[in-house]
A and B are shown apart, each in its own frame.
Chain A
Amino acid sequence: MVEKGKATYDVKCQACHSTGPNRVVGPGWKGVTERRKPEWIMNMMLNIDVMLETDPEAQKGLEECLVRMPNQGLSKDQGREVLEFMRTL
């Protein structure tokens, strides 16, 4: 699962998110699963437009980064796999 998550990360996420602590376009992923609840992360990956409209934390992130996180067309399974990959960071 982690491997699959890493593969999806390489194609669809890496351009904006480092696996370290710091921001490229969006925040770095190191420790992200400690800072955020899994369902919040899943919603950001799979349902970004609704999150940016309704979720104050997501909106705060946009104010910081100024680039709307793209909907990268992940399936639910791909989202789960990426989450597992995040847990290893």
Chain B
Amino acid sequence: MKRPLLLTGTASGVIACAFVLLNSLPGCRPSGTTKSVVTGDAASKVYVKPGTHDEFYNLVSGGFSGQLAVYGLPSGRLLREVPVFSVDPETGYGYSEETKGMLTTSHGFIPWDDSHHPELSQTDGIPDGKWCFINGNNTPRIALIDLGTFRTNSIIEIPNSAGNHSSPFTTGNSEYVVAGTRFSVPMGDDASRDVPIKTYKENFKGNVSFIHPEPETGKMSIAFQVITPGMNFDLSHTGKGVSEGWFFFSCYNTEQAYSLLEVNASQRDKDFIMAVNWKLAEQLAKDGKGKRVPGKHHSNWWNEKTHSSETTVYEDVLQLDPKDHPGLVYFMPCPKSPHGCDVDPTGKYIVGSGKLAALIPVFSFEKIQKAIAGNEVEGDFAGIPVLKYESVLHGEVKKPGLGPLHTEFDANGNAYTSFFVSSEIVKWNVEKLEVVDRVPTYYSIGHLCVPGGDSKKPWGKYVIAYNKITKDRYLPTGPELTQSAQLYSIDGDKMELLLDFPTTGEPHYAQAIPAELVKPREVKFFKIEENEHPFAAKGEKDTKIERRGKEVHVWMTTIRSHFAPDNIEGVKLGDEVYFHITNLEQDWDVPHGFAIKGAANAELLLMPGETQTLKWVPTRVGVTPMYCTDFCSALHQEMQGYVRVSPANSNVPLTALTVSVDAEL
């Protein structure tokens, strides 16, 4: 026991020394109490007058909440949390009969995931405000959120993937979003997958998937997967402008370690940025050059007319092996365990952020093309050519800070890189590779976001830091603290901290877009005339009750402020009751809720014109109350009803009524 303790002591000594050194660098994480570096009229720059709107939408990953959070900028006000990969009892998402299908996979119903990277759909390389994609890390999936409804439109499962981290970044016209596996795994049939872990080098493979969303519906399918040697993929971004047609992925663990990666995957001085010629891959797939391999997966889609999910199950997937197709994939050496892989707005430069490196390498697309043409390779990695580092390098930003993670860009040739270890944002000139400014973050920034900052057209104005550590920035709430983001102005020569704002879940990547590109798309309610739900009651005349064996189906409506029917009798113990509820309202912001005592699932929250179904299995004889949960009018508290439950052998006839004291109605 003594020896490890001694070792620990030594290690802390080393770390302490390192911090002394760090503190001599400008912009290092300050020790001791929080400093407020806010100056001048910061407050007026983030003040959004009551009743007025923010300038930008900020779509922020929910991390281990599995959802997507929506904030307004510059105020930092939380507008909405969109349920994506996790069930949401508040809206009934994942609980209602219609939404359960959105969360089904080849593993069955999966109620949670870990969502990391929102990415806006693009037209001509510019975010268009139509959709937002986000990845589910744990049970590999990609979701598409419709920004007209801020609802999850579709979710596709990624086969042969494990830890879907390097995702879901889009090509310039959202022809594809990519999904790169973090863990490599053995693929194929059961026998090929049941192998000893130590046979990683022979049997484990990585891959990157190209997923095609249908432009009209948003339905997603996997166009093809590019198979790679076993290693880890971290992040990715599309080429644009001059590099249009290529995609770049950061790779680590080129050591091919399968245990204690903290040490074993940090051995080599350089890992790779992988360049994929996706236009060529697309052509190869079209020409039938791929191979269909096992890869069962679900693609779930939300039908807005039937207010129900639809699932398509695929048994296999088309794969392309770069060994068979020279020119498809190249590796570029990149120091060291690169994390972010970011392409500047011109598409000329690719920035790799080696999280264990003390410099930022910047690659030149022009030089990559020259190196490919001139065969300037230093060898191969499992049969795939590795280009010479010096041949493809634009240059290195020297001593920028410690632990570079991610880079975003403005429209003036500047890059903004987050530094986790030295806890700062560093602004540098992409062409000249010179640091021009730095500002501390509180604390330990992970991702960062500039509006449009990974596209062809950064809107600039702000950079937002998504921090990993909150510590003393807010009122304490026990051991578990709020997560946090910070807003900085980048309008002037110096970056300026304007605002801290708390976030839900752990924020990873985020996107921001001018509100004007999204607001005109907003759906205010669903037209009742277009409701094609098989159990819709379009008006109270359609309401009824029907027994189908042990199932009792109730066609029910809501309007301010009553249910029809609201008196139900003839339900028996052992029955399963399905409440199919249609909200008859046809105006904005008039949802009704539905809750019934003892429901083992959740409530329903019904938007105007929508039909949803809650299943309820009574557990005791008696009269059970149900009521509206969303304060809908002055008579909301009167919006209630009763269900009489009788013993299994009872003869009470099945009835569903709304009874008025006034006979002349």
Contact = CB atoms under 8 A, between A and B. Distances in A.
A73 B665 contact: no
A21 B665 CA distance: 7
Given A22-B662, A66-B634, A67-B634, A11 B587 contact: no
Contacts of A73: 525, 527, 586-587
Contacts of B664: 18, 20-22, 28
A70 B560 contact: yes
Contacts of A4: none
Contacts, number: 69
Given A25-B559, A70-B559, 12 more contacts: A10-B541, A14-B541, A15-B540, A15-B557, A15-B564, A16-B559, A18-B665, A23-B662, A25-B562, A67-B560, A68-B633, A70-B590
Interface string A21-58: 11111001000000000000000000000000000000
Given A18-B665, A25-B561, A70-B559, A11 B538 contact: yes
A71 interface: yes
A15 B584 contact: yes
Interface of chain B: mostly helix, strand, loop or mixed: loop
A35 B588 CA distance: 30
A73 B302 CA distance: 24
Interface string B548-568: 000000000101111010000
Contact of B539 (A14, A22, A23, A25): A14
B586 A12 contact: yes
B410 interface: no
Interface of B: 525, 527-529, 538-541, 557, 559-562, 564, 584-587, 590, 633-635, 660, 662, 664-665
Given A11-B539, A20-B665, A72 B633 contact: no
A25 B560 contact: yes
Nearest to A19: B665
Contacts of B635: 25, 66-67
B665 A28 contact: yes
A66 B665 contact: no
B587 A12 contact: no
A12 B634 CA distance: 20
A9 B586 CA distance: 13
B459 to A, nearest CB: 35
A67 B538 CA distance: 21
Contacts of B559: 15-16, 25, 70
Contacts of A25: 559-562, 635
A11 B584 CA distance: 8
A18 to B, nearest CB: 4
B587 A71 contact: yes
B455 to A, nearest CB: 37
Contact of A72 (B540, B561, B587, B634): B587
Contacts of A12: 528, 539, 584, 586
Contacts of B525: 73
B527 to A, nearest CB: 7
B104 to A, nearest CB: 33
Give me the 7 closest cross-chain CB pairs, A-B, nearest first.
A73-B586, A18-B665, A11-B539, A71-B587, A15-B559, A72-B586, A10-B539
A24 to B, nearest CB: 6
Contacts of B538: 10-11
15 contacts: A11-B539, A12-B539, A12-B586, A14-B540, A15-B539, A15-B540, A15-B562, A15-B584, A20-B665, A22-B662, A66-B635, A67-B633, A67-B635, A72-B585, A73-B587
A72 B583 CA distance: 11
Nearest to A74: B586
Contact of A66 (B528, B633, B662): B633
Contacts of B586: 12, 70-73
A68 to B, nearest CB: 7
A85 B660 CA distance: 24
A72 to B, nearest CB: 4
A67 B496 CA distance: 49
A22 B662 CA distance: 8
A14 to B, nearest CB: 6
A10 B528 CA distance: 12
Contacts of A71: 586-587
A23 B634 CA distance: 16
Nearest to B582: A11
Contacts of A15: 539-540, 557, 559, 562, 564, 584
**Best-buried of B527, B529, B560 by chain A (most CB within 10 Å):** B560
Nearest to B559: A15
